[in-house]
Amino acid sequence: MSSPWGVSRMEPFPRGAAVPAFTPVIDPETQIAVLVDEHGRTVELGGHGTSTSGLTPTMTSPGDGSGPGGATDADSTESFDQDQSSG
């Protein structure tokens, strides 16, 4: 029985770059989590924006409501807003 064809294409992963260790701490003045490096300096990770998402339901009713019956239809519209962040 032969080995699967992918095995012949395998090779070791290349060595990755060393990533510095950061420690999350709570800033006592702002009560916001920040990251500090091994020297105690605050590390800036670039701009991170915020976003909101919402689902707005819509529904239609038959006629003017003066009579019974008729078809109804319902669906929803999703909205997504994202703040632009500097980075």
**Which H, E and C letters describe 16-34, residue by residue?**
CCCCCCCEEEECCCCCCEE
8-44 pLDDT, tens digit each: 888 888 888 888 888 999 988 989 888 998 888 988 8
Check if the beta carbon of residue 45 is closer than 8 Å to that of residue 28: no
Enter the tokens of residue 22. Answer: 């950061």
For residue 87, what pLDDT is reported?
A: 46
For residue 25, what pLDDT is reported?
A: 92
